[in-house]
Chain A
Amino acid sequence: MSDERLTWSQTLSRLRADRRRLRALLAEQGGRRPVRLGLHPSFVCVLLYRISNHFSRAGHRYVARFFWHLNALLTGADISPPSDLGEGLVIVSPPGVTISTKAGRNLTVMPLAGIGSELGRRRDIGAGPGLPVLGDDVQLGPLCGVLGPVRVGHRVRVGAGAVVLKDVPDDTLVEGPQARFLRRADPP
């Protein structure tokens, strides 16, 4: 993960891009416009992560850890402070989301997705020992996982329940396991 320091203006610029993208996504759905987008759980989660990331890069590890814990307490999301996530980050439903990676712009994380290392594979490909690297405009489906030192290309969409354990090229759709129907043995 990048150890390059971020200034407050850079962190705020990333936050503004996150906010713009979340606002655009909410507008697309045609739902009620939130009174204060700053109180939306998706934005609170990203805000606390950005603050913890800022302090982590500035070398204030304990302050970074405080905001990391606050994020887990308030929103239920576990985004490690050194994670380097580009601007335009949207976390749709924060509870249960776990992220420890390096990612490009416009990452979209659906409920309960997990990105991080797995036991045994500790190779460093640029994000830290055993951690994956994601490109721009990646969308992670519900309950999917990107595990270990793998490279996920740009504009990749990982389907619900899919587990990525090897490199994925650009413009790819990774499908999860397909469901099939069985007649119930204990019909009501």
Chain B
Amino acid sequence: MNPVPSDCLAQGHRRLSTIRRSLSADILRFLNKSPENRAAGDNLRTRLGAFLTPQLLCLLLYRIAHYLHVNGWGRLAVLVTRLNLLIHKVNISPQSCIGAGCFLPHPVGVTFHGTAGRGLTLYSLCVCCPREPGVDGPAEAGPRLGHRVTVGGHAVLLGPITVGDDTKVAPKVCLDREAPAAVLVVSKAVRSVHVPSRPGRGSP
């Protein structure tokens, strides 16, 4: 069995009440994400409506899988992770340790194997995984993200790197080295090339 990281135990991930608290923070983050959601208010009905969205159901399954993993029920944890993969097409390994207030706007295709602090945002199709093939080893092989980190769509974070607090990784960036706190990580700008239209072919 993979050893459980000490900071994961310090956050109380071995207790069932932590799942409830973390999910509550996830729902609150979801409800505060846009003016429309904020206008709906924070009551039982809006919380239940938010809870039934795929964004939060996939986090619920991940948090249950992580709880089972930390408590030594590894096979059950893997089963719940497989269920998450089957239903939501999200691959968050049970070894991963993610803090409260996580937000996945479009969960399909997200792959995460590492550790992250509070207020993590993972946009669609982003990948955080070890450098070598496979997402079944210890979470330390993957990236270690600080608090309030945002990973843009189609971004890749590879290997055991550390990303500082409040850092934003722009879409389509491949990051395989340490990133300091409070920076914006960008990649080469997209180049547009003018293609003259040929007569008789019409516009594309």
Contacts and interface: CB of A to CB of B under 8 A. Distances in A.
Contacts of B138: 30-31
B129 A41 contact: no
Contact of B133 (A75, A139, A181, A182): A139
Contacts of A184: 166-168, 182-184
Given A29-B134, A95-B85, A188 B182 contact: yes
A181 B111 contact: no
B1 interface: yes
A103 to B, nearest CB: 15
Interface in A130-188: 139, 141-143, 159-161, 176-185, 187-188
Interface stretch (A5-13, A56-64, A108-116): A108-116
B166 to A, nearest CB: 4
Contacts of A96: 89, 108-109, 125
Nearest to B74: A32
Contact of A179 (B91, B141, B180, B187): B187
Given A95-B108, A143-B127, A181 B141 contact: no
Nearest to A92: B133
Contacts of A26: 134, 136
B106 to A, nearest CB: 12
Contacts of A35: 75
Contact of B137 (A29, A75, A182, A188): A29
B179 interface: yes
A110 B82 contact: no
Task: Summarize B's interface: helix, strand, loop or mixed.
Answer: loop
Given A93-B91, A95-B85, A95-B108, A112 B187 contact: no
B133 A108 contact: yes
Nearest to B2: A31
A185 B170 CA distance: 13
A180 B133 contact: no
Contacts, number: 145
Interface residues of B, number: 50
B125 A182 contact: no
B153 to A, nearest CB: 10
Interface string B70-90: 000011001000100110011
Given A160-B156, A184-B184, A29 B132 contact: yes
B179 A181 contact: yes
A28 B180 CA distance: 31
Contact of A111 (B86, B91, B168): B91
Contact of A93 (B129, B148, B186): B129
B151 interface: no
Nearest to A76: B89
A90 interface: yes
Nearest to A162: B174
Contacts of B108: 76, 95-96
3 closest A-B pairs (Cβ-Cβ)? Answer: A29-B137, A161-B174, A31-B136
30 contacts: A28-B132, A31-B95, A31-B138, A34-B136, A41-B91, A76-B109, A92-B134, A92-B135, A95-B89, A95-B108, A96-B108, A96-B125, A110-B129, A110-B133, A111-B111, A142-B129, A143-B125, A143-B154, A143-B156, A143-B174, A160-B174, A160-B176, A161-B154, A177-B174, A177-B188, A178-B174, A179-B186, A181-B185, A182-B185, A187-B182
